Structure 1
């Protein structure tokens, strides 16, 4: 039986990796993830995972991260990053310029 977990982050929400590996926007949620433990060994597979459109020095990339390693990003994104990479709806949700949130 597959368990479905409640997610802490929503589509379009700005998050950052707890080790500051990246900052970005949630573009997909895998709430029923049941895979293996992460590389560090401290990530339980019994939690939601997220696809995050992240911003790096060389441009944007997609990261797949466990909920336990993500945090709400109170600092948000710079105005320059928002204008370069995202559209923002009336509720403040971000979406990559070339992707639609579903």
Structure 2
């Protein structure tokens, strides 16, 4: 009997990592990872076709910020690069979930919130 094998990419980034978008001017801390696209088709179709990422890659939920505001972003792995600034993220929800570990330049999940 033949089995269907689904190839799932290993996530390059982990919860607590600082990343920035490779094209757009925003950065953030990862608070969740989907092994592949798990948002609505409406959201996906709203992305211009020439910029639409593949669905068969990890997607990351970020507490994000740009020069003007803070928000939650959903970004494909292909559009992220490490943020080596060493600066904490100012998003107001970050302290509820994470503690800044300055010597490692990343966040760790607050004690008691791990699952």
Give the TM-score, by structure 1 length. 0.69
Q: Which deviates more, 13-22 or 40-49? A: 40-49
Match of 2:106 in 1: 93
Q: Quote the offset at 1:72 in angstroms.
A: 0.5
Match of 2:61 in 1: 51
Q: Quote the offset at 1:101 in angstroms.
A: 6.1
Q: Quote the offset at 1:4 in angstroms.
A: 2.5
Q: Quote the offset at 1:47 in angstroms.
A: 0.7
- Where 2:78 maps in the other structure, the secondary structure is helix
The structure-2 alpha-carbon separation of the partners of 1:101 and 1:16, relative to structure 1 and needing over 3 Å to count, comes to: farther
Count, aligned residues:
98
Which runs of structure 2 are paired with 1:35-46 in the superposition (5 Å)?
A: 39-40=47-48, 41-42=50-51, 43-46=53-56
Matched, 1:65 2:78: no
Q: What is the rounded CA distance, in whole Å, between the counterparts of 2:75 and 2:14 in structure 1?
A: 14
Q: List structure 1 runs of 4+ shifted beyond 4 angstroms.
A: 34-38, 89-92
Q: Unmatched 5+ residue regions in structure 1?
A: none
Matched, 1:23 2:35: no
Q: Quote the offset at 1:74 in angstroms.
A: 1.5
Q: Which deviates more, 44-53 or 68-77? A: 68-77
- Where 2:9 maps in the other structure, the secondary structure is coil
CA contact (8 A) 2:8 2:56 kept: no
The structure-2 alpha-carbon separation of the partners of 1:34 and 1:27, relative to structure 1 and needing over 3 Å to count, comes to: closer
Q: Unmatched 5+ residue regions in structure 2?
A: none
Deviations 1:44-70 (A, max 9, x none): 111110001012345421100111111
